[in-house]
Amino acid sequence: MATVEPVPDAPAATAWLDGERALLVADYHAGIEVALAIERGIEVESRAEERRQRLVDLVEQTRPDVLVILGDLMHSIGDPGGRERDEIEALVEALPDLPITLVKGNHDGAIEEWVPRVDVTDGAGVRFGEIGVAHGHTWPAREVLEADVVCVGHEHPQVRLEDEVGGSRVERVWLRGPMAGAPFEARDDELDWSAPELVVLPAFNGLAGGTWINVEGQEFLAPFLPEGLASGEAFLLDGTRLGDYRTV
């Protein structure tokens, strides 16, 4: 049975993809500080070096055969500016010499035309043996949905936790649970449905915001959520099990 194992205290997971050990991350959003300043007037000191070192450290810690990025390596939807491009090129240069696959996200523009050393696949995803990967901004490809486990990003799931005195904090979480076939079979009557497990990865970039899954009125970003998740549980990055995401 295919398994996807979160790396403790990190927005990343390991999995065996066609016999190769892979490190999975999603939603790196290089250059987000520039966008926050331009679009929202929020001045945030660049964390590019810290992001880069965290990913390099994870690669060194987990020693994967391949790195798979589930979309949104960059933040600009159009052509990236100089700082964003510089950040991505510095990241790729700093990573150990291993294959890198990017499942193209909605923020990745024409990244395949200039990013070095990266194999860019369509955002609807690709299947590696028993595990399918996609970004999540569009409906996953049939081959992805016919895998045993489907991994996506895009959603940036978060929970707002409150303490006994009324304080609150926002934490990134994992979402995991069996997928519901109805919305997918309605789009593809030739789909060989076997109720794969869905794993929604937290955003690697903590500045990227996301969906507060336990706040009333929040809408999911992926077109197949929440209808495509039959039931699901939320987990903090440290592994704490929060239970059914709908009742956290």
Residue entry with tokens 């390099």:
56
Residue 194, CA atoms < 13 Å, CB-side half-sphere = 13
Q: Which helix (H) or strand (E) holds 177?
A: strand 168-178
Residue entry with tokens 């994967």:
64
Separation of alpha carbons 210 and 169, rounded Å = 14
Is residue 98 helix, strand or coil? coil
| Structural domain count, the chain | 1
Would you say 41 and 219 are in contact if contact means Cβ atoms under 8 Å apart?
Answer: no
pLDDT given at position 235: 96
- CB within 8 Å of 244: residues ≥ 6 apart: 231, 232, 233, 234
For residue 218, the enclosing domain spans 4-247
Q: Which helix (H) or strand (E) holds 36?
A: helix 32-40
Prediction pTM value: 0.93
Separation of alpha carbons 190 and 142, rounded Å = 9
pLDDT given at position 219: 87
User: Could you tell me which of 56, 25, 21, 47 has the C-alpha nearest to residue 156?
Assistant: 25
Separation of alpha carbons 18 and 22, rounded Å = 10
Burial of 19 (0-12, 13-18, 19+ CB in 10 A): exposed
Would you say 55 and 119 are in contact if contact means Cβ atoms under 8 Å apart?
Answer: no
Task: Give me the CATH number covering residue 120.
Answer: 3.60.21
pLDDT given at position 28: 95
Would you say 134 and 141 are in contact if contact means Cβ atoms under 8 Å apart?
Answer: yes
pLDDT given at position 44: 66
The amino acid that residue 227 corresponds to is E
* Per-residue pLDDT tens listing for the chain (248 residues): 578 999 999 999 999 998 999 999 999 998 777 665 555 566 667 788 999 999 999 999 999 999 999 999 987 655 655 677 788 899 999 999 999 999 999 988 888 888 888 999 998 999 999 999 999 999 999 999 999 999 999 999 999 887 766 677 889 999 999 999 999 999 999 999 999 999 999 999 988 888 888 877 778 999 999 999 989 999 999 999 999 988 87
Q: Which helix (H) or strand (E) holds 22?
A: strand 20-25
Would you say 149 and 4 are in contact if contact means Cβ atoms under 8 Å apart?
Answer: yes
pLDDT given at position 31: 78
Would you say 201 and 58 are in contact if contact means Cβ atoms under 8 Å apart?
Answer: no
